[in-house]
Amino acid sequence: MKKQNGFTLIELIVVISILGILAAFAIPKFVSIETNARKSVLKGVSGSVRSAAALAHSLTIAEGNGISSNTSVQIEGVNVQMRNGYPRASNNGIRRALNLSPDITGNGGNFIVQGNNCRVTYVNAAGAGAPPAITVIDSGC
């Protein structure tokens, strides 16, 4: 009697079929994980923007500058320009408060951190004491 030294064709077909079925369920999960990761990073950026704005606002009040003044505050040795008591939506405002690299910039009255159609938008405070508008758009992640 001869010993069997390998797998039969039927055993190989069954294993390949099982791997195919597992792959059919796993691939959509990996795509979903990537999208969820992008959305999570966006939420983290949004939280950082809110925290930086709140810190600068607190410093403005603590230094007695008044929330209607358009002065500046020092955060870790960096001069942050303010508008209505919150950082300006500019390169000299919220970008400096966040300590972002110079290649991430704002435009006009908006400051946008963007990637893969996801973005966090920071808009100047509308008036004295009013908080800035911080919008998260994650529909295109």
**Predicted model pTM:** 0.72
The pLDDT profile of the chain, 141 residues, written as one tens digit per residue, is 667 677 788 888 999 999 888 888 887 777 778 888 888 888 888 899 999 999 999 998 888 877 766 788 998 889 999 988 899 888 888 888 988 766 565 555 677 777 777 888 899 888 877 889 999 888 877
Q: Does any domain span residue 81?
A: yes
> Of 139, 104, 110, which Cα lies nearest the Cα of 122?
110
Q: Does any domain span residue 6?
A: no
CA–CA distance, 124 with 115 (Å, rounded to integer): 21
Contact of 99 with 49, CB cutoff 8 Å: no
Domain count, the chain: 1
Q: Where are the beta strands (DSSP E) in 8-117?
A: 72-75, 78-83, 86-87, 106-107, 110-115
Domain that holds residue 85: 11-137
Give, as one character, the DSSP assignment of residue 132.
P
For residue 96, which phi and psi values (nearest 5 degrees)?
-70, -35
Q: Does any domain span residue 3?
A: no
